[in-house]
Amino acid sequence: MELVILENAKKFYINGEISIPALRGINLSIESKRFISFVGPSGSGKTTLLNLVGCLDKPTEGKVFVAGTEINRMDRKTSAKFRGDNIGFIFQNFNLIPILTVYENVEYPLIMVQNIPAEKRKQRILDLLEKVGMTDQKDKYPAQLSGGQKQRVAVARALVTEPKLVLADEPTANLDHDTAYKVIGLMHNMKKEFNTTFIFATHDPKIVGEAEVIYTMEDGLITKIQENKKTGEVC
Amino acid sequence: MKNIIKIAWRNLLRYTRRSLLTSSMIAVGVALVIIFSGIGSSFKNEIIGVITNSNVGDIQIHKKGYVGSIDNLPLDITIPANGVKKIELLLNNNTEIKSYSERIRFGSMVSNFVQTTNMRLTAVYPKKESQTCPALVKRIKEGDSNSDTFVKPGSVVIPQNIAKGMNLKVGNDIVLIATNKDGSVNGMTFKISGISENIMGPQGKDGYIHIEDAKSMLRIEDGEITEIAIKLNNFNKLSKTYTILKNELMQIQGEKTGKPIFEIHTWEELVPFSTIAKIITLLIMVVRIVLFFIVLISILNVMMMSVYERIGEIGTIASIGTLPSKILALFLTEGISLGFFSAILGNIIGIIILMIINTAKFNFRFGDARTEFILSPQIPTTEVFLSIIFVVVISILASLQPAFKASRMEPVEALRHV
């Protein structure tokens, strides 16, 4: 089943009178329960593509479908709700909320986005924190955690709403080699456990090596698609 | 909502110094309003009490046209005896009236056989006058200050300044000379039975004689008087009682003219201090306006900085699906919490300071008046609640723009912000 479909998706950024093309007509479809990587140099359009798929931005031309819904026509409120219900995000800078503890950061989408009752929240959060190995740190604040620990919490936060799709933009860029491997392994395990589709934009060969399909981008176009049979080595 | 409040509160505590500074500014502003309101109202009520209880009364009734010429104390604009009876009937039937006092007021010459000066005289029935102006006898510092007998026929209470200027003492004889409405000049000898202290206002230096003496002196034979002073059971019902009495008095009309023959005024219309009372009210309003700007600018500043510093965070919460309305609520709650708790703090500080002032019993006096005013500010309960509502409303107004800006932010733009 196809989770993400892009039909001739184009994106231009207007800077004064100059129109800068970021995506120049992308056609692709991504099946669910996959581990996908977009690679390419800076400015190739990876992040723009992720923003379109994540309903954070709209294409200038073309269509984007996520989980069967065309996102082009959504207003702000609908697209926020859609993201909350269907998409998890992992950021390069972790983007944890500094005033909330580990537990509360993971709890945040359940309270503020999905309105899950307290009794149902607790077990789900504790299970997830155990899976990402952060149970012992649940009462700490982000400032008290290492980069790897922060990203583990970010993974838990992205998965706690049980999304169909998790988008990760350079998730290992700020992590050291060993930690990056552990985080990739964790995401791989989570993908298996929750049957969630992971889509990465990355330069990191470690992630690239783990992806089932690797899309190479250059100048706003997909120039190469590679199937990778040797995945899961880091798990 | 509980979680929004929790997050808003933590965000405020995140920038502890800034939040404390803003909160202190608002709290000081609120405390100033409470203190100023408490002291201002106390001062105003104290002075109003002195004026109404010493000589003016709460309400006065005159023949139409009298107040327009009140500075001349005219004797040809009087309430006739049948008019007095009609008015008494109205007053006796009104349960809000505690007492009333008939008066004849006129100007006279005073002579101690060596020197001569002029003085305004109020001729009264002592018992009725004491009930209507209970503080009057307290002003009599020398001589008879009995509320039923402070002026007896043949005696006079003179004001302190005249006693001092003419070197008069209790028991001395003086001659009072006055012109009646027909133009004849009459004089009578009186014994000084008391010396009263001066108080604020045009009626603060009046002398008092018995009303029967005034009738003899002015050759008034048909029972006419110049005014009726009225004391109410409840001063707070002044406006309502005044309106009722006014409507009733307007029904009493001249047979020939068919127009009302009496006029009625509250103390405010008769005493210049009412202007000062209005200025005090105006000053309290000015302090409120200052508070308005303190709260508005403080909260607006804090919230704008808060939004600017947290653009990335707003991008994060928006991207993970937080609805714009919830982001709006989050920032609004932050501003409201800051305003609300600052207002509570300001009220506590204000109330404590008012209690200290009350305990300290600060007193003061004006000019040469002997009456001491003790500063006993009441806690202005209405002002306390109003200040909280006021601050919260301004906090909402001040937070609205930053909160709206945060809620309208495009997540993709916000996430890009460094």
- Cβ–Cβ < 8 Å for B101, B58: no
Cβ-defined contact of A51 to B412 (cutoff 8 Å): yes
Cβ-defined contact of B3 to A112 (cutoff 8 Å): yes
pLDDT at residue A48 greater than cutoff 60: yes
What is the predicted pLDDT for the residue at A208?
80
Residues 6+ apart with CB under 8 A from A82: A55, A66, A69, A71, A74, B321
Chain B residues with CB-CB distance to A99 below 8 A: 7, 10-11, 13-14
CA distance A1 to chain B (A): 24
Chain B residues with CB-CB distance to A174 below 8 A: none
Put simply, whether A45 touches B (Cβ < 8 Å) is no
Largest CA distance in chain B: 100
**Cα–Cα distance, A138 to A78 (Å, whole number):** 32
- Would you place residue A230 in the very low, low, confident or very high pLDDT band (cuts 50, 70, 90)? low
What is the predicted pLDDT for the residue at B371?
60
What is the predicted pLDDT for the residue at A235?
40
pLDDT at residue A234 greater than cutoff 50: no
- Cβ–Cβ < 8 Å for B97, B264: no
Cα radius of gyration (chain B): 31
Q: Which long-range contacts (CB under 8 A, 24 or more apart) does A63-69 make?
A: A63/A5, A63/A6, A63/A7, A63/A8, A63/A9, A64/A4, A64/A5, A64/A6, A64/A7, A64/A9, A65/A4, A65/A5, A65/A6, A65/A7, A66/A3, A66/A4, A66/A165, A67/A3, A67/A164, A67/A165
- Cβ–Cβ < 8 Å for B387, B34: yes
CA distance B398 to chain A (A): 24
In chain B, what are the domain boundaries?
2-51+275-416, 65-260
**Cα–Cα distance, B291 to B350 (Å, whole number):** 14
Cβ-defined contact of A84 to B14 (cutoff 8 Å): no
Q: Where do the domains of chain A lie, and which CATH numbers do they carry?
A: 34-61+69-227 (3.40.50.300)
Name the A residues in 95-134 with CB < 8 Å from any B CB: 95, 97-100, 108-109, 111-114
What is the predicted pLDDT for the residue at A226?
86
Residue B60's DSSP bridge partners are B229, B265
Q: Is the pTM above the cut of 0.90? A: no
Residue-averaged pLDDT of chain A: 86
Q: Which of B10, B322, B412 sits opposite A112 (nearest CB)?
A: B322
Put simply, whether A89 touches B (Cβ < 8 Å) is yes
B163, B211, B291, B370, B373 from B141: Cα distances, Å: 12, 22, 45, 9, 16
Q: Which of A57, A99, A114 sits opposite B10 (nearest CB)?
A: A99
Residue owning tokens 């939040």: B19
Q: Is B265 helix (H, G, I), strand (E, B) or coil?
A: strand
The DSSP code for B15 is T
- Would you place residue A96 in the very low, low, confident or very high pLDDT band (cuts 50, 70, 90)? very high
Put simply, whether B313 touches A (Cβ < 8 Å) is yes
Cβ contacts from A onto B, under 8 A: 72
Q: Is A40 helix (H, G, I), strand (E, B) or coil?
A: coil
Name the A residues in 134-163 with CB < 8 Å from any B CB: 157-158, 161
First to last CA, chain B: 30
Q: Interface pTM (ipTM) of the complex?
A: 0.88
- What are the start-end ranges of the E strands in A149-232? 165-169, 197-202, 213-218, 221-227
CA distance A188 to chain B (A): 21
**Cα–Cα distance, A175 to B413 (Å, whole number):** 24
Q: What share of chain A is helix, strand, coil (3-state, %, to 5)?
A: 40, 30, 30
Chain B residues with CB-CB distance to A95 below 8 A: 312-313, 315-316, 415
Q: Which of B312, B315, B321 sits opposite A109 (nearest CB)?
A: B321
- Ordered DSSP codes for B26-80: HHHHHHHHHHHHHHHHHHHHHHHHHHIIIII-SEEEEETTTGGGGGG--SSS-B-
- What are the start-end ranges of the E strands in B84-179? 97-111, 116-124, 140-143, 155-159, 173-179
What is the predicted pLDDT for the residue at B204?
55
A33, A165, B237, B329, B409 from A84: Cα distances, Å: 19, 11, 61, 18, 17
List, run by run, the mean pLDDT of 10-residue segments along chain B (418 residues).
84 86 90 88 81 88 90 88 91 93 93 90 93 89 88 92 90 92 89 83 74 92 91 91 92 84 90 78 85 86 88 91 92 92 94 90 65 76 89 91 91 81
